[in-house]
Chain A
Amino acid sequence: MKTHTKKPFNPVALWTSPSIVMLLCLTIVPLLMLLVFSFMDRNIFAGQPWPGWTLDNIIRMVGSDTFWRLLGKSLLTAAEVTLLCIVAAYPAAWAIAKVVKPQNRSIFMMVVILPFFTSQLLLIYAMMNLIQSGGLLLTMLEAIGIQGETWLYTNKATILVLTYEYLPYMILCLYSSLEGIEDNLIYASLILGASKGKTFTNIVFPMSLPGLLSGILLVFVPVAGSFMEPGLVGGANGAMVGSMIDTQYSGSLNMGYGAALSCTLLIVLSVIMGLTRLAAARAEKTIGGDME
């Protein structure tokens, strides 16, 4: 039975107010501005101090085949990348959390975050060099008698590069969850006769769900909005919805239309993330009971 006790006001809490104000200014206000701009005619910075209100941006967006096609493609790409990251990150995070000796974990964590030490653009260029025709990967495959074709300038290349870029986020999130699972729990499950698979599905997976959800959030959302990677490695059909939004801001200076597209993407992503969280909560209860 929960009891609610009124906590006395702690003046130290005032120290958090600058952070709260900053967060409000950097998140809530820009989001509200985005929403307002969606109903603006063109751009407040393009010679029209107060351009006026319009629904044209929404109408234009609803009627744009290109936008809906790119939105669908972006969500599918984000789902694929997220899935690949989960599959690749679970064993890696498990190995670092449970197999590697505690004193060596920092070295492995450093390896995981090493890509953050360089520019994202350089990482993409490095990957392009690796997979292009005559690149290291195809040359090595040829050396062992396997003839391959380059993936560069295809959607596969976009997925590969995005997975490479966002994998560390998933590993970090999963590691934090997996590391918190007591070894005794796993031993108890095994001693009581549960198979390794059953132990994973009933103990490890439900307890790692918070980390997994964080990982999904950190991977799915930015991947769905990415535009640099598809532009560089995706080829003629590589563009995603982020590319279209980018064009409105950097190409045609139509801030209103760009904001309408951004808001729609934001709403769609929020709904997907909300549903994912609901599904995860239900799965948590069904598989392993309420962990809260």
Chain B
Amino acid sequence: MKFNASKKIMSAALAAVMMLGLCSCGGGAETTEDPATDSSKPYAGHTLYVANWQGYNSDEDYCEKAFEDATGCTVEHVYFNSYEELMTTLMTGGNQTIDAVVLSNNYTQWFHEEGLIMNVDPALIPNYELVADVYKDLAPYAVDEEGNLFAFPWCNGTSSIAYNPDYVDFEIEHWTDLLDPRLTGHVMVLNGDGDDWVIGCLLAGEDSDDIENADIEKVRTALMELKGQLLGFWASNDEQIMPWLAGDFWAGEIWSGPYSELINNPNTNIKLVHPEEGTVGYIDYWSIVEGTDEFDLACEWINWIESTEQQTAMATGISEVYPGEYFTYTPVNADAINNLSDEQKVALQLDPMPTTIKLLPYIADPDLKDQWTDLYQEFVS
């Protein structure tokens, strides 16, 4: 009897574990809602599939739902965890469903060379005219050697140095200041190859814009010296905010999102520095997937997302139609930038303004990329 009872308990326990496992493997239930039927909406009944990081602005109600309201279409977000995963998805048939994708500046060229994203006539995206000149027609990130435009800037950001004056009693002005012994064990940087390469180059005095000719050994030495200073690496907003508030993270690289959250937190102190030698930066673009059957709608989506209204909502986190608490991102639309208040500029790392932005590099040569990847691996190990 006891043995039977034990078997029942074990069976129940194992069944519960297996059920949980199976449940976690399953995707969300598919809905079978009727397509929009409002004939006044130009794209009623159409579905636009866009690929982006989860929670990165375009899936917020003020963007996604507002676009659906305006056009009558349905927007479906396809989430990815890395650009390599996205590339694999597109190469294995995902381009039969995905219509538009978000890409960072160090990936646009790669996707374009692989024939995964298409050239688009800027005349089809009227709001592209409103993009600030500094972000427009950037080669090689958005324009190829023949002048074809294949990526439309959407938002950008800098990962600059922040420090907590409550713990750091000296001015930090340069990346090399992070090597000060007083900061040992309290510095954090992003766990990301592109950022770490740029920081290594900035520490070593090498040019990350010409990374293929940079002295990798000098960069290695600089990164290993920085490693001795590190508390750890972060990879998400929480991983910056938690140790900062706990008083473990005193100085280092920080994203604009956590910076804007921490600067508004009365329980902590934070100071932002854009070193004159350079700030790590990125521009995120939207591109249209080669072979899409919703080309017009994809153009409409990009035009919408570059409008002053959308860019302002993205930069301020304020939406009248869909109010809520939203993260804010630095816009590329010139009018949206000019309309920002001083406080909003501070929150977006636009005050102080960076003097030099070093964009995440793209390494085309596979062997050279392996060398830099090994260096990154050594640094984060």
The residues of A with any CB-CB pair to B shorter than 8 Å are: 42, 45-47, 60, 64, 66, 69-70, 97, 102, 105-106, 109-110, 112-113, 116-117, 125, 128-129, 132-135, 150, 152-153, 172, 175-176, 179-180, 231-232, 234-239, 243-244, 247-254, 257
Contact = CB atoms under 8 A, between A and B. Distances in A.
Interface stretch (B3-11, B40-48, B95-103): B3-11
B143 interface: no
Interface stretch (B120-128, B241-249, B255-263): B241-249
B16 A236 contact: no
B231 A153 contact: yes
A115 to B, nearest CB: 10
B325 interface: no
A252 B193 contact: yes
B138 interface: no
5 closest A-B pairs (Cβ-Cβ)?
A236-B230, A235-B232, A253-B84, A239-B381, A252-B373
13 contacts: A64-B374, A106-B12, A109-B9, A129-B242, A153-B248, A172-B13, A175-B10, A231-B235, A248-B373, A249-B84, A251-B82, A253-B87, A254-B370
B381 A132 contact: no
Contact of B242 (A45, A69, A128, A244): A128
User: In this complex, which of A45, A112, A125 has the most chain B Cβ atoms within 10 angstroms of its Cβ?
Assistant: A45
B85 A250 contact: yes
A249 B5 CA distance: 46
Given A102-B6, A251-B82, A252-B373, 8 more contacts: A66-B378, A132-B248, A133-B247, A150-B246, A152-B246, A153-B243, A243-B380, A251-B373
Contacts, number: 120
Given A45-B87, A250-B81, A135 B232 contact: no
Interface of chain A: mostly helix, strand, loop or mixed: helix
A236 B9 contact: no
Given A109-B9, A180-B6, A252-B193, A45 B370 contact: no
A105 B88 contact: no
A232 B239 contact: yes
B200 to A, nearest CB: 15
Given A128-B242, A247-B377, A251-B84, A45 B92 contact: yes
Contact of A176 (B10, B85, B239): B10
A249 B84 CA distance: 8
Given A113-B13, A236-B231, A247 B376 contact: yes
Nearest to B116: A47
B182 interface: no
A133 B246 contact: yes
A105 to B, nearest CB: 5
B88 A45 contact: yes
